[in-house]
Structure 1
Amino acid sequence: MLLEKTATGFTLSLDGCEILRHAADNPALFAGRGEERMDMYRGNFDIEDYVVERVALAHAEVEGDTIRLSNAPGQPVRLVLTVEGDSLLLAAPDASINRLWLRTVAGKDEHVWGGGEQMSYFDLRGRRFPLWTSEPGVGRDKTTEITFQSDVTGKAGGDYYNTNYPQPTYISSRRYALHVDTTAYAVFDFRRETFHEVEVWEVPEKIEFFAADTFRDLVGKLSLRFGRQPELPEWVYGGAIIGLKDGKTSFERLEKIRAAGVKVSGLWCEDWVGLRHTSFGARLFWDWVGNEERYPHLRQKIAELADENIRFLGYVNPYLCVDGSLFPEAEASGYFATDAEGKTALVDFGEFDCGVVDFTNPDAAAWFAERVIGENMLDYGLSGWMADFGEYLPIDVKLANGVDAKRMHNAWPTLWAEVNARAVASRGKTGEALFFMRAGYTGVQAHCPLLWGGDQSVDFSRHDGLVTVISGALSSGLLGNAYHHSDIGGYTSLFGNVRTAELLMRWAEMAAFTPVMRSHEGNRPRDNLQIDQDEVVLAHFARMTAIYVHLAPYLKVLSAEAAETGLPVQRPFFLHHEDDRATYAIQDAYLYGADLLVAPVWRAGETERTVYLPKGARWVHVWSGAAHEGGREVTVAAPLGQPPVFYRAGAAHEKLFADIGTL
C-alpha cells in the first residue's frame, strides 16, 4: 500500500491501483452523528437513520504513515488514519462521532461483487446495499402482489438488498477487494460513476485491502482471511438428502423414493424433535431432544439407515422454548440473554415463547455445544442438521459481554456457526458431520461447512425464486464460501402461491450441478406438490440424482481444490475468463469448477435458452454433442430433463462429461 501526499490531501494505492483520492475540494472521508430507529418483527427489520451531522473532513495533514483529518485548517482533529501493511487503522479523537462515510475511487466501466450473499443482483454496481443480517423477505420486489401481501400481513415483504448473510466486503473488477472490520450496521453504495461510498454506523478499527494479479488469486486471499471449509463428507456423494417431516411415515416414504431409483445419501427430518400445534399450523417443538413418540425407535432407525449408507439429519436453532426440558437447565445456569430488568428475555414466536441462549457467555456457548449438539444430536446418531435462525438476535436484549445487541446482531451468525463447529470438532467429526446455515457474516466461513440459500418462494419469480439461488452462490463464493445449495422446489408458500411440477423438476436440474442436492417439503407440505406424489416428477428427480452421483469424481476434485485454494465449486464465468468482460455481469449461469458450464432454466414455460459462452474455449453441449466456439451467444433446446449444460473441450474429465448425455 502506497500513501502519497498531494497539494491538499493524499492518495492511497495498492499494487498501483488507486483506491482513495482525497483533496480539500473533493474529500474522501466524512464523519458525523446519527440517531437510528430500528424495529424488529420476527427477523424482519424496519430501519431508518436521522443524520444529525455529516461533515466533510476536508483538511488532511500527512506525516509518515499517519493522516490526521479535521473539518478545516486549525480545527480539532476528528479522525486519525494509519497505514499499516495493507490496512487502514482508524481512531477518532472526537468521541461524538458514530457515523463514518468513506469514498473509494470508481472506474466508469467497473463491476463490483460481494456484499455477502446477495440474492437479487450479483453485480452490485448502480445500487445501494444495506448490510444487516435479517429475514430476506417474501417476494423481495415491492412491485409484486406477494411482496405487498407479505408486508401488509406480517411486515415480511423484503426488498432486493435484504439477506440472511451480509458481509462488508466487496471485490472490484479493478482486481482489489475492500473489507470493513465491523459488526455495526453498514451500507455499500455503488450508485455514483466516480466513487463508491461506504457508510458505517461507528468508527471501525480497521479497513483491509487485498490485491492480486488474477481474480482467482484474489478469491484465494479472501478465503485465507475469512476461513476455508474442509472437503465435503464422503457420504454426501451417494446422492440427494431427502427432506421429509412426516414422523414415522417418513421412513416409508423414503423407501418408495428409493424404489423409484432415487440415489439417496441422507434423510433429513426437521421434525425429529416433535411438533407443536398452533393456530398457524404445525410448528417444530424447539427443545432439541429426539422425540420418539413422533419417531418411534429413532436411534435404532438411524443405525439401520447407516447400515445402508444413508445418514440421518435433523434441525436446531439457538432458541429454547419455555415449556421444553432444556429451558429450566439453561435458565438455572444463567445462560440466557436478559431483558432490561435482568430477567430472562423471552421472544414470542407465535403462541410460544423462547429464551435466547447467550453465546457471548463462554459457559453458555460451551454448554450448548456439548449438552445440546454434542449429547442430544451427535451422540444420538445425527450426521448433520440445519442450523437455523442465526439472524434473529433481538436488538434490545442484554448480553454477557456487555456489548450493545445492535453491535452483536451482525456478529451473531458467526458465533452460532462457531458453537456448531465446536460441537462437531469435540466428537472428531469435522469434515464428516455436515450442518448448513442460511445466516452469515464475516468469519462464518471458518466454521460453517455449507451454506443454504434460505427460504425462496415456490416459484420462478425474479427476486425470490429459483434464479436467486445462483446469485447467492456466486456472491458468497467469491468471499470464501466454497459450498452452496438450496431447498429443491423452494420453501415459502403463501397467498395461494404453490409449487408446480415444472418448478420442482427445473430446480432439481440445477441442484444436480451443485455441491449438495437436498429436497424440502416447504412451509406448507400439504398444499404443495412433493417429489413422491407425482410419478413423472419422481422419475425426473431420480435421473437428476443419477447425474449428481455420476459427477461425484469431478465434485471430489473440486472439493479438494476448495480446501486447498478457497475456490468455490460454483463460479462466475469471469473467474476463469477474466479477459472476457462480457462475462462480468452474468448471474443466471455459472461454471461448475472450471470445465462445466451450467445455465439452468429459471423461467416458467421456457423450453430453450440463449447462453453466452466465454471466450478462449470450445464448449460442447452435453445433450447434442454440438461444439461451439466461445465468445458468442448460442441458443439451445432445453426441454425438461435437458438443462443447458456444456463442457470445455479437452477438459481432464471430458469423457465423464460427455456421458452425462447418456443418463
Structure 2
Amino acid sequence: MWPAWLSARLLSQSPVTLTNADVSSLASSRPSLAYDLGHGFSLTWSANPSQLVITGNNDTIFASNGNFNMTEVNVDICQKQTVTEIGTSHGSDTPSVTVKGDLLECGNSTATTKYTLSFGVPPGFQDRVAFQLEVFRASNSPTANTSQPLTKIYLTHESHASEDFYGFGAQASFASLKNQTVHILSREQGVGRGDQPATSTADAAADFAGGNAFTTYTAIPQYITTDARVVYLLEQYIAYASFDLSSPHAVRVRYGGRAVGGHVTRGTDVLDAGAVLGIQGGQDKVMRFVEQGLENGVDCPIAAVRLQDWTGTHFQEARYNDPDLYPDWTTFVQTLRSKHDVHTLSYVNTFLADTGTKPDKPKRNLVLEASKLSYLIRNSTTNSTLIVSSGADMTADFLDVTNEKTRDWFASVLQYTPVTLDVSLYNAANALTYHNQYPRDWAQLQHNIVTDLNKASDAVVFHRSAAFLSNRYMNLFWAGDHNTNWGRNDGIQSVVPVMVHMGFSGFPQQHGDIGGYTNVLTPAPPDGNVTRSAELLGRWGELAAVSSAVFRSHEGSIPSCAAYGWPLLRAPVVYHTADQRSRRVVHESFYLADLYVAPVVAPGMPRLSVYLPGGENEVYAGGQHVEVRAPYGQPAIFVVNNATSDELECLWDL
C-alpha cells in the first residue's frame, strides 16, 4: 500500500477518517525508482514496501510512510492518494525529482484534487535538500465545488520512539518536545502558562490571558533532533502550522495553506557583558541609581539603563498619568553617555493608546494622526479601527505595518496581529496567513533604522517576539516577561528551556529579565499573590550571570563568542545525545561553553543534587548525580575537563 504521507483538507462539515492510500498503477509497472539529487543526496521510491526515502552521506535524512487559543478541526480529509508520475528535471545546476498524483475521496466533493511534490538541492546550500509541495484542483473539475475550497495540507515523515525534538522557538515548559503538538503562532505568552494560581487569576481577568504550556511570543517552524536531523519551513511560508510529534514513529505537519516548502538535512552531531539596569521613575531617579551603583563599586560595570517609562506611564484600573518624567530627555541621555559611559535603551511597540483623555495632554495624539492617515488596522465588519485589549482598562489601536507609508510615518512594531476573519490589512489578504510575519517585519524595520542612522555597531536591538529568520535583523533575543516566582512554566525554571530551544532555533545570544517581570496581587489569601522575594532575585541574578549574554534587571510590572552561530547556552543533550538523562535535565543544568552550570531555581536549597553527563573529569566522573554545596551567592559551576579553551577565556573577558 502507498502510505498516507500527503493529504489535503476541504472546508466543509462532514468528518472523515484518514486511511492508507491506494496503490497506484505506477507501483505495479515500476516497483523501485532511484534518482541522484547531486552533492551526495539521492531519492529512492519503492513500491514494496511502499516508501519514499532521501539519503545523504549514507544516512537517511527524510523517509515517509504513511491570546489566541487555536482549536484544530480536521474535516473532509482526502482518504486516498495515488502516484501517477515521477520524473527528473535539469533546469538548474542540480537535478530535481518531482512526484505527481491525485488525492481521492475528499469528503463529498467530486472535484479532482492533484498534488505536486518536488525535491532538490537548493542553490547555495549544498548540505540540504529542499522540498516544495502544492495541492490544487484539476482544471476540468466541476465549478460547483468552489464552495469547498482546499484550505490545509498535511505532510508526514518517519521518526522513531527514541528520537527527541528541540527548537520551535521559545518553548519554556519542556525539555524534548517529543509526544507534544507544537503550534506555530506568535502571541502573548500569557501569565502563568499553567502555573497556578497565576494562570487562573489571569484567565479570570481576561479570556485565555493565562496561556498554556505552548503559548509563546516566538514560534518558529523548525526543529533539530537527537539524530542530528533538521527540518524547517521556508520564510515565505508563514501561515499557521502545527507539528504533531505525538506518534512514536512519525511527524505530521499541518500547514494552513495550499502550498508549502522547506529544507531537510542531517548532520554528524547536534552542533556540527556589562549590566543593564531596568529603572522607572524619571531622570532624577535614574541618575541617582546609576551614580549610587558606580560609587558602590559594583563588580559588573553598568553598560546601560533601560527606561520603559520614557513616554510616560499608565496605571491600570486607576488613572492615566503623564508626569514630566524626562523634561530634558536629549540632554539627560547625552549626560549619561558622556559622564558615566552609560547607554540608554528604551521600549517601543505598536500599541498606540488614545491620549486625548489624559489630564495633561501630550503634544501629539498619535492615535488621532494615524486614524486620519488610515495607518491603523481596521475591522472590516464595523468599518472602524480595531481596538485591542490587554486587560482591564488597557486598550490600544494597532499600527498597520503592511502599509509602507505607515512604516515611514512611525518606526514602530506590530508584534501580534489579531486573528479574526474581519481583520482588514492594507497589504495582506489574510490576517491568519500574515500573522507570524509581523515579528520579522518589525525586526527588519528596526535594523533598517539603525543602519540608515549609521548606528548599527552602536545599537543593541533585542526582541521577545520573533519569527523564522528574524535573527538576521537582531543581535540579542529577550526571553520575555516571566512571573516573579519559582514556577516551572512561567517562572525562573522556564528561563533556561526558552534559551535552549531558541538556541536550537538559530538565536545564539539571549538574555532574560533578572527577577522576572509579572507581579500578581489578588484579593485571595497571600499565597495567591505572585511577588518577588529577595532570595528569588538573588538566585535569578546568579542564573543570569552564567547564562545570559546581557545582565539586565527589571523592576517588575508593579514598580560575543558564539562561533559558527552556536548558542552561548547549550543543553546537555548537545554533547550527549545518547545519554537519556541528558535529554531531560534542561530545567536543571546547562553548558556555557566549557562551563557546566547547575542553577538554583527553587527556594531554600543550600545544596543541590546535580547530574553530570557522560565523560570524565579529574574531580567528578560523568554519568552520575553528585551533591554539591550551592549557598546563596555561590551557584554550582563546573569546569569541563580542565578546559582552557579560547571560548572559556572569552567568557572571562565578558
Matches of 2:118 and 2:503, distance apart in 1: 31
- Is 1:82 aligned to 2:125, yes or no? no
Q: 1:330 aligns to what?
A: 370
Q: 1:58 aligns to what?
A: 81
Matches of 2:332 and 2:465, distance apart in 1: 31
- Is 1:504 aligned to 2:537, yes or no? yes
The number of residues matched between the two structures is 554
Cα displacement string for residues 95-130 of structure 1 (whole angstroms, at most 9, x for unaligned residues): 822122222211121111111110101310121222
Q: 2:159 aligns to what?
A: 106
SS in 1 for 2:550: coil
Cα displacement string for residues 244-283 of structure 1 (whole angstroms, at most 9, x for unaligned residues): 1112322223333333333311111110111234525668
Q: Compared with structure 1, are the counterparts of its residues 204 and 635 closer, same or farther at alpha carbon in structure 2 (3 Å cutoff)?
A: farther
- Is 1:634 aligned to 2:617, yes or no? no
* 8 Å CA contact 2:305, 2:343 repeated in 1: yes
* 8 Å CA contact 2:182, 2:242 repeated in 1: yes
Instruction: Indicate which of 549, 553, 566 corresponds to 1:515.
Output: 549
Please report how far the alpha carbon of residue 642 of structure 1 lies from its aligned counterpart in structure 2 after TM superposition.
0.8
Q: CA RMSD in A?
A: 2.8
Q: 1:586 aligns to what?
A: 585
- Is 1:425 aligned to 2:451, yes or no? yes
Cα displacement string for residues 36-89 of structure 1 (whole angstroms, at most 9, x for unaligned residues): xxxxxxxx1233233331233432234122222334599934322111221111
Q: 1:363 aligns to what?
A: 405
Matches of 2:471 and 2:644, distance apart in 1: 29
Q: Compared with structure 1, are the counterparts of its residues 137 and 306 closer, same or farther at alpha carbon in structure 2 (3 Å cutoff)?
A: same
* 8 Å CA contact 1:390, 1:439 repeated in 2: yes
Q: Which runs of 5 or more structure 1 residues have no equivalent in the other structure? A: 28-43, 218-236, 286-290, 373-386, 526-555, 620-626
Please report how far the alpha carbon of residue 485 of structure 1 lies from its aligned counterpart in structure 2 after TM superposition.
0.9
Cα displacement string for residues 223-242 of structure 1 (whole angstroms, at most 9, x for unaligned residues): xxxxxxxxxxxxxx3x2100
Q: 1:244 aligns to what?
A: 279
Matches of 1:357 and 1:59, distance apart in 2: 47
Matches within 5 A, 1:156-305: 156-181=209-234, 182-217=237-272, 237=273, 239-248=274-283, 249-262=285-298, 263-280=301-318, 293-305=324-336
Q: 2:638 aligns to what?
A: 646
* 8 Å CA contact 1:486, 1:518 repeated in 2: yes
TM-score, normalising length from structure 2? 0.79
Q: In structure 2, what residue type is equivalent to 1:416? A: W
Cα displacement string for residues 304-345 of structure 1 (whole angstroms, at most 9, x for unaligned residues): 211211111111001323334433443444332223165543
Please report how far the alpha carbon of residue 578 of structure 1 lies from its aligned counterpart in structure 2 after TM superposition.
4.3
Q: In structure 1, what residue type is equivalent to 2:492? A: L
The one of the two structures with greater contact order (alpha-carbon pairs below 8 A, sep at least 6) is 1
Q: In structure 1, what residue type is equivalent to 2:308? A: E
Q: Compared with structure 1, are the counterparts of its residues 353 and 327 closer, same or farther at alpha carbon in structure 2 (3 Å cutoff)?
A: same
Matches of 2:369 and 2:218, distance apart in 1: 31
SS in 2 for 1:130: strand
Q: Compared with structure 1, are the counterparts of its residues 102 and 656 closer, same or farther at alpha carbon in structure 2 (3 Å cutoff)?
A: closer
Please report how far the alpha carbon of residue 594 of structure 1 lies from its aligned counterpart in structure 2 after TM superposition.
2.6
Cα displacement string for residues 574-633 of structure 1 (whole angstroms, at most 9, x for unaligned residues): 3344454542333124545431111111111112122222333427xxxxxxx2233322
Q: 2:19 aligns to what?
A: none
Cα displacement string for residues 388-429 of structure 1 (whole angstroms, at most 9, x for unaligned residues): x71354544211213211111111111111111111111122
SS in 2 for 1:390: coil
Instruction: Indicate which of 551, 558, 564 corresponds to 1:524.
Output: 558
* 8 Å CA contact 1:247, 1:295 repeated in 2: yes
Q: Compared with structure 1, are the counterparts of its residues 394 and 322 closer, same or farther at alpha carbon in structure 2 (3 Å cutoff)?
A: farther
Q: 1:541 aligns to what?
A: none
Instruction: Indicate which of 13, 19, 22 corresponds to 2:54.
Output: 13
Matches of 1:511 and 1:573, distance apart in 2: 18
Please report how far the alpha carbon of residue 512 of structure 1 lies from its aligned counterpart in structure 2 after TM superposition.
0.7
Q: In structure 1, what residue type is equivalent to 2:416? A: E
Cα displacement string for residues 5-24 of structure 1 (whole angstroms, at most 9, x for unaligned residues): 2216431224244455555x
Q: Compared with structure 1, are the counterparts of its residues 211 and 410 closer, same or farther at alpha carbon in structure 2 (3 Å cutoff)?
A: same
Cα displacement string for residues 174-223 of structure 1 (whole angstroms, at most 9, x for unaligned residues): 21111123222211121111112211222333132122222213xxxxxx
Matches of 1:444 and 1:17, distance apart in 2: 31
Q: In structure 1, what residue type is equivalent to 2:399? A: V
- Is 1:404 aligned to 2:430, yes or no? yes
Q: 1:32 aligns to what?
A: none
Q: 1:614 aligns to what?
A: 613
Instruction: Indicate which of 499, 519, 525 corresponds to 1:473.
Output: 499
* 8 Å CA contact 2:64, 2:157 repeated in 1: no
Q: Compared with structure 1, are the counterparts of its residues 650 and 21 closer, same or farther at alpha carbon in structure 2 (3 Å cutoff)?
A: closer
Q: Compared with structure 1, are the counterparts of its residues 581 and 478 closer, same or farther at alpha carbon in structure 2 (3 Å cutoff)?
A: same
Matches of 1:659 and 1:63, distance apart in 2: 53
SS in 2 for 1:92: strand
Instruction: Indicate which of 363, 368, 391 corresponds to 2:416.
Output: 391
* 8 Å CA contact 1:139, 1:146 repeated in 2: yes
SS in 2 for 1:618: coil
Q: In structure 2, what residue type is equivalent to 1:421? A: H
* 8 Å CA contact 1:241, 1:264 repeated in 2: yes
Q: In structure 1, what residue type is equivalent to 2:307? A: C
